[in-house]
Amino acid sequence: MKILVINGPNINMVGIREPDIYGKQDFQALQDSIRQWAEELGVEVELYQSNHEGDLVDAIQKAYFDQIDGIVINPAAYTHTSVAILDALKSVSIPTVEVHLSDIYSRDKFRQFSYTSLAAEKTIAGEGFDGYRHAMEYLIEQYGNA
Ligand code: DQA
């Protein structure tokens, strides 16, 4: 099974940005953790991060042609604004879990609506880095580990 983990804008700044909200561990630590969990869970993982909406759309489209089996995505601020990312996820029909480090539902009102969630099977919010592991576990449970 091949899982693509996509992170959107400013996720590369975790550890530096608002540590009270996003934690003190940096982006390298997040990537290392995801790679280690993938190994433990016996799946292939690809990691992608961009600060640009169109690049995220391109990465989602590429996942279709690369025969990715599942997507874990933290679209970050684009969660709340991007019909383009929603449409890209709908275009490829790849099982998707949306992840947020923070609990978007208990933050600003503008963070409480997610376009992406309309194309995601599940949204995990407020679990910090562990949310990515739980998202991968969900995809493996649902779609096997072939
Ligand atoms: C975030 C939540 C978003 O509202 C915010 O814009 C982010 C990060 C999270 O992981 O908690 O950049 O997606």
- Index of the ligand 1 atom closest to the CA of residue 10: 12
Residue nearest to atom 9 of ligand 1 (CA): 100
In the DSSP assignment, the letter for residue 23 is -
Q: What is the pLDDT along the chain (146 residues), one digit of tens a residue?
A: 999 999 999 999 999 999 999 999 999 999 999 999 999 999 999 999 999 999 999 999 999 999 999 999 999 999 999 999 999 999 999 999 999 999 999 999 999 999 999 999 999 999 999 999 999 999 999 998 55
Give 146 Cα–ligand 1 centroid separation in angstroms.
Answer: 32
Residue with tokens 């923070």: 102
Tell me which fold the domain 2-143 belongs to: Rossmann fold (3.40.50)
Tell me, using a 6 A CB cutoff, whether residue 51 lines ligand 1.
Answer: no
| Residue 144 confidence (pLDDT) | 85
The token pair at 2 is 């091949």
Q: Which of 80, 102, 129, 130 to mutate to test the pocket of ligand 1 (most atoms within 8 A of CB)?
A: 102
**pTM tops 0.95, yes or no:** yes
Helix/strand/coil for 2: strand
